[in-house]
């Protein structure tokens, strides 16, 4: 049987930048193993699948190896497919997910996601800063940990240090958590920059990560004393996000571009 499938570059307004996501609208769920096999075949950081549920949709995300609980760029890509390619009259969308209900609205050329803020705490393991330094070739000036997101957040001294980081993936895996690196973004003309590494989830480096900003935004709120940010993920592909903290929620806005549409045959 054939199903429509799309590839969308998220958090960018131009093709071949941002973070590519697969998006596959379904009428009913396929078996989980089939979903995982399709995600492995797409071989993108995440492939999103959604089916109708009440007045909204049930949305799931898969990396090439596992299902994940939260994904920003594939949610943005799903909203883009729904609004731009399926039903342009609907501007507000609700997706039920493993992280609870997520709302997205079309806002001019951008889409705005409503995501949960994810807490972080001081890092208690004194060996971690040196281990992070070994894993990326840059010693952090501050390290916190988000148990909910299962990631370390390491602040480096400059944008140049974030760009210059060279990941040692076996050393990154030995950290036991994903790793976000970040720095003040003044030199880049933005509020802060970041990169994100998740080799334990089959993603060596994610090009642009909406969900990591659920930790980054409250962290930089404490550093900069503000609630709204223009953030840039400085991976090779790169991407831009506009963030607004609203209590325990984070508004994440960005652009998207469809670069591929077609059909996939599933036996």
Which active-site residues does the annotation give? 46
Token digits of residue 240: 């831009």
CA angle 108, 205, 30 (to 5 degrees): 70
C-alpha atoms less than 13 angstroms from C-alpha of 208 in its C-beta half-sphere = 31
If one counts every other C-beta atom within 10 angstroms of the C-beta of residue 207, the result is 24
Report whether 205 contacts 235 (CB < 8 A): yes
User: What spatial distance separates the first Cα and last Cα of the chain, rounded to whole Å?
Assistant: 6
Report whether 23 contacts 5 (CB < 8 A): yes
- How many helices, marked H, and strands, marked E, lie in the chain? 6, 18
Q: Compute the distance between CA of residue 202 and CA of residue 186 in angstroms, rounded to an integer.
A: 32
Residue 115: strand pairing partners:
250
């Amino acid at each position: 049987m054939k199903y429509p499938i799309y590839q969308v570059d998220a958090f960018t307004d131009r093709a071949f930048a941002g973070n590519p996501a697969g998006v596959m609208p379904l009428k009913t769920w396929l078996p989980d193993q089939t979903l995982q096999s399709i995600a492995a075949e797409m071989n993108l950081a995440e492939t999103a699948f959604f089916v109708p549920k009440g007045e909204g949709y049930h949305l799931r995300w898969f990396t090439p190896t596992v299902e994940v609980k939260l994904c920003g760029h594939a949610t943005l890509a799903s909203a883009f497919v729904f609004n731009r390619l399926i039903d342009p009259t609907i501007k507000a969308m609700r997706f039920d997910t493993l992280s609870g209900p997520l709302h997205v609205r079309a806002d001019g050329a951008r889409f705005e996601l409503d995501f949960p803020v994810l807490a972080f705490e001081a890092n208690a393991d004194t060996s971690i800063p040196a281990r992070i330094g070994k894993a990326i070739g840059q010693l952090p000036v501050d390290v916190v940990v988000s148990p909910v997101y299962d990631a370390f957040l390491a602040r480096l001294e400059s944008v140049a240090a974030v760009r210059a980081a060279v990941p040692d993936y076996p050393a990154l895996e030995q950290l036991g958590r994903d790793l976000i690196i970040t720095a003040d973004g003044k030199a880049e003309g933005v509020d802060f920059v970041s990169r994100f590494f998740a080799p334990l989830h089959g993603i060596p480096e994610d090009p642009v990560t909406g969900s990591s900003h659920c930790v980054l935004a409250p962290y930089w709120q404490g550093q900069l004393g503000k609630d709204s940010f223009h953030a840039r993920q400085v991976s090779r592909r790169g991407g831009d996000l506009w963030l607004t903290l609203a209590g325990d929620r984070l508004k994440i806005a960005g652009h998207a571009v469809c670069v591929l549409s077609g059909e996939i045959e599933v036996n």
